[in-house]
Every structure is written in C-alpha cells, then in structure tokens.
Amino acid sequence: MTFPALDEVEAKLKAKQGELGKIFDEAGETLDLSKVETLPSGYTKGDTARIQQLIVTLNTECTDLGKKRDELLPLEAAFKAAMDRRRAEQGLPPATEDGDATKGKDPRAGGDGERLSIGAAFVKSGAFLKRAPGAVGPVATLDIDPTHELKTTMSTTAGWAPETTRSGKVVEFAYRPVQMLDIIPQGAIDQAAYTWMEETTFTNAAVEAAEAGAYAESALALTQKSLPVQKIATFLPVTDEQLEDIIGAQTYVEGRLSLFLKLRLDGQVVNGNGTPPNLRGIAQTAGILTQAKGADSAPDAVFKAMTQIRVTGRANPGALAMHPTDWQNIRLLRTADGIYIWGSPADSGPERMWGLPIAITDVLTAGTALVGDYATHCALYYKRGIDVQVTNAHASYFINGLQAIRADVRCVMVVFRPAGFATVTGL
C-alpha cells in the first residue's frame, strides 16, 4: 500500500537529482562547466554563466522537494495506520505494501482458503443464511438489522469539546515601512517656528589688483526665512473594561497610535504641501531640480540628476528614494547575454545605485524618484516628540465608561537648499 502524493514527490526528487548529478559528472573533478553537454532545451554548451544558474536552480528545487518529502512522510504513516484500523474494524488483517488484502488469503476466500466470486461469497455470508425461512426476492427481505452493534458515538459534539488556549501572537495589519525618516537629520527646537537666514545675494568680485589699483566690490545679502511648527494628531476610544481586563491593551493602543503618527510624518516630509497644518515636504518645495528620464536608462537618468545637484545646487547627493516597482525594474536589468547587472538572483544584491543607499518607499509615486543631499540641506525639527494621553473627559465618555487615548507630535520640516534635491521622472 503506497501513498500517491509521496510517490510523486520522490519521483520528481529523483529526477532532479539525476539531472544535477549528470551535470557534475560531465564537469568532472575540476568542475569545468564548459564540458557539460547534457542540458535542457534553451541552454548552450559552453555558456558557463547560465549553466551555473541552472545548477543553483536545480539545487533549490531538490531542496524544496526534499522538504515536501519530509512533510509527507508523517502523513503516509498516518494514512497507513488509518487504513489498518479500518481493516481491523472489518475483521481483516493489515494490508500489505503491494496492495493485496492479506499475505496468503483473500478476504473473499471460503473456509478452506479457496478464492470465491462476489456472488458466492454473498451466498455464504451470515446475513444471507439468517434470512427469513423460505424468503426469496430482493435483499430488502433479508433479516438484517442495520443498527446491529451500533452504540451512541462519543465525539466532540457528544462528549468533551477540545480545549484551546489563544496564543499571544498578534498578526499586524500590513502597512508600508517608515523609511524617509531614517535618512533625514532630526533635531529639537524650543520655539513655535524655525527661523534661519539664507544668503540670497552672493556676488564674488574678487580679482587680481595692480599696485595702488582699486579693489573690486563684492556683495552679500541675507534674507530671513521661517516655517511654523505644525501638529499631527489622532485618538482612539477604548472601553474601561478593555483596559482593565486585558493586560497590555493600553500599551498596544499607545504603540499603534505612535506608529500612525510616524507613518503620516514619513509621508509629510516628502509630499506635504506646506498649507497649514501641513508640513512642507521636499518634493513640494519650490526650487528643487528635476531630471526627465527620456530615452536614457533609469540609472543614467539618476546619475544626470546627481550631476545637476553637484553643478547647480553645489551639493553632494547622499541618498536616493524610489518606489518599490521602480527599484524592481532596475534590480532586474540584464545584459544582452542574460547576466543580471545588480547581482545574481541567488544573492540579495546591493540596494545602492552609483554608491548611494536607496530608501525603497511607496511614499513616492511610481515613476518618480527623489535624490538629494539629505544629510546637509534638510532637517526635521521637533518642538515636542510623540505625546500620548488618556482621559474620559470627552463628550459622554465619562458616563458611558469610555476612555480616549490620544497621541500627537509637533514638528517642522525645513529644506535649506532646494537645489540640493532633484526628482527623476518617467522611470
């Protein structure tokens, strides 16, 4: 008696092992992949790079099939045990591996061991012999008690229901990671606005002068700039009983509200339109540069944006932010002969481009990337960090047994040099 699912997996595993073994046999002790001739359709002898990829693929498939086989072995044992119990309930011996009912005697055999037809076996059965005297006709006239030896079955519905204890695991809702805050410098202020001075006139007239000659006059002018602190806030109503009866409920709610604020702030530092109470994000700041992809490749367009920042913004780009699908398209770029530019699929590959670390975030719209000198020319300043408070002094919460848990943060986003940043469009 065999388990079909296990047989199928073992057959596939044996076949994959054979393919892999053949490649190594032909490569020899020196593992010279150029000698391998037995290859699947689409592979060419001597294409060692693709043969190496094939080896990795086959090895991975063997590993996966081996895991499936290990998972099915206990199921096969349970399957055989269940079949043996069923045969025991029918008064039959355990089945053999080849599927025969017994090792020497057929279940339809007579008393002397001869093999009987189904009809003959029925005629000799106890049910037929105990039929009413002289009864003829259909089986329905036989003296058969359908409830013979049946008792009330004890089961989970007529006995003990299985006891289960809830685990402490909580599966969090899927949300985008907070990433832009990781590449933006952060500090603290103690006022209601952040004010700074910006050089708006810079005339360098320095030039060589003859003895007793006139000096050329340079010019400098500064303009005061200021941005107000803004607030991001949220709250959640919770019953008194929930907070009293569930250990950790308040900590859980406070943690999730803090996360909500960070997620909103992570988007505002890029896309905030600057209209109060919104922060002014980098992408919405007047004066940032832009580079269209056009006929260029995506990496070329990013490098041209970096060059604009260096030449026009007189800054040093330090990080690149882009949407996950845009990074996917770049990560999958291949040469004409199929070699992945950003590394083999067997490796995680570097999340960098032109030496810049990449913040992969869907805060940005697909098709647009943002490169810039984040470390020097922008900053996020906090008037007050995240503050969480609990009260029942809201509407009718006191008489209804409710608590309001609120969280907020006050901060301002500042872009000191807009030309230190550039968007790359059309990716």
Q: Are strands 219-228 and 193-203 parallel, antiparallel or unpaired?
A: antiparallel
DSSP string, 314-379: -----EEEE-HHHHHHHHT-B-TTS-BTT--TTS----EETTEEEEE-TTSPTTEEEEE-HHHHEE
| Percent of the chain residues topping a pLDDT of 90 | 55
Judged by DSSP in three states, 66 sits in helix
- Per-residue pLDDT of 227-236, as tens digits, reads 999 999 999 9
Q: Is the pLDDT confidence value at 141 over 50?
A: no
Q: Is the pLDDT confidence value at 15 over 60?
A: yes
| Percent of the chain residues topping a pLDDT of 70 | 86
CA 258/CA 388 separation, integer angstroms = 8
Q: Is the pLDDT confidence value at 353 over 90?
A: yes
- What are the residue ranges spanned by the domains of the chain? 4-89, 180-204+217-425
CA 345/CA 53 separation, integer angstroms = 9
- Per-residue pLDDT of 263-322, as tens digits, reads 999 999 999 999 999 999 999 999 999 999 999 999 999 999 999 999 999 999 999 999
| CA distances to 104, 122, 123 from 110, in Å | 13, 11, 11
Fold of 180-204+217-425: Major capsid protein gp5 fold (3.30.2400)
CA 66/CA 60 separation, integer angstroms = 10
Q: Which residues contact 336 (CB under 8 A, 6 or more apart)?
A: none
CA 30/CA 181 separation, integer angstroms = 51
Q: Tell me the two tokens of residue 210.
A: 């003859």
* pLDDT at 77 (0 to 100): 77
Q: How confident is the model at residue 117 (pLDDT cuts 50, 70, 90)?
A: very low
* pLDDT at 97 (0 to 100): 52
Q: What's the sign of the alpha-carbon dihedral 147, 149, 154, 155?
A: negative
Burial class (CB in 10 A: 0-12, 13-18, 19+), 158: exposed
Please state the φ and ψ torsions of residue 64, each to the nearest 5 degrees: -65, -45
Nearest to 416 by CA among 248, 307, 288, 279: 288
* pLDDT at 129 (0 to 100): 55
Beta bridge partners of 353: 356
Q: Tell me the two tokens of residue 32.
A: 């010279």
DSSP single-letter state for residue 395: T
Express the helix, strand and coil content of the chain in percent, nearest 5 each. Answer: 35, 20, 45
CA 403/CA 124 separation, integer angstroms = 79
Q: How confident is the model at residue 362 (pLDDT cuts 50, 70, 90)?
A: very high
- Per-residue pLDDT of 44-101, as tens digits, reads 888 888 888 888 888 888 888 888 888 887 877 777 777 777 777 777 777 665 544 4
Cα three-residue angle 63-66-70, rounded to 5 degrees: 140
CA 24/CA 20 separation, integer angstroms = 7
